[in-house]
Amino acid sequence: MHTLDGTDARILLAMVQDPRQTVVALAQQLGLSRNTVQARMSSLEKGHAFLAFDHRISPAVLGYPLTAYISIHVQQQKLAALAASLAGIPEVVEAHGLSGRADILVRVVSTGAEDLFRINGKILACDGVERTETSLAMNELVPFRLTPLLERVLDR
């Protein structure tokens, strides 16, 4: 795994501020050569530093304004097959295996309460699911961010 240094962090912070700027613009802004920025960007990409672009798209603009988190309790021996079943439900936008009381936490998006009921039914119908607990996301208190961690790299 690629460990970031200060130059990588500066490039990524500049991209956070303006993700559409060119390599040449980044180089000028940071006082680096275009080749340095390009090489660093290639290295970051090969090291899987960048998430897929769809992480930046709001589900609300696609007609899915309601987000919920569903905790799933499963039969452990069916966990691998269940992951594939969950991936087959388009409204399941994220799923994580957990330690603790629940086995899986999924983030789902829906068009509303009735749609969420339908999605929960699809999850409950998956082989290996014992029960679910659903929590509605009422408000995003801290949006996804990595800027403070990038800034910490610069402070090292």
Laid out side by side, the sheet with 104-110 consists of 92-97, 104-110, 66-74, 129-136
CATH number, span 6-50: 1.10.10.10
The Cα 27–Cα 150 span in angstroms is 18
E strands present in 50-103: 66-74, 92-97
* Distance between start and end Cα atoms, the chain: 19
pTM of the model: 0.86
**pLDDT tens per residue, range 81-108:** 999 999 999 999 999 999 999 999 999 9
**pLDDT tens per residue, range 33-85:** 999 999 999 999 999 999 998 888 999 999 999 999 999 999 989 998 999 99
Q: What's 57's DSSP letter?
A: S
**pLDDT tens per residue, range 43-57:** 999 999 999 988 889
CATH number, span 59-136: 3.30.70.920
Residue extents of the structural domains in the chain: 6-50, 59-136
Name the strand (E) or helix (H) holding 38: helix 34-46
Q: What's 148's DSSP letter?
A: H
pLDDT over 90 (residue 153): yes
Reported residue count of the chain is 156
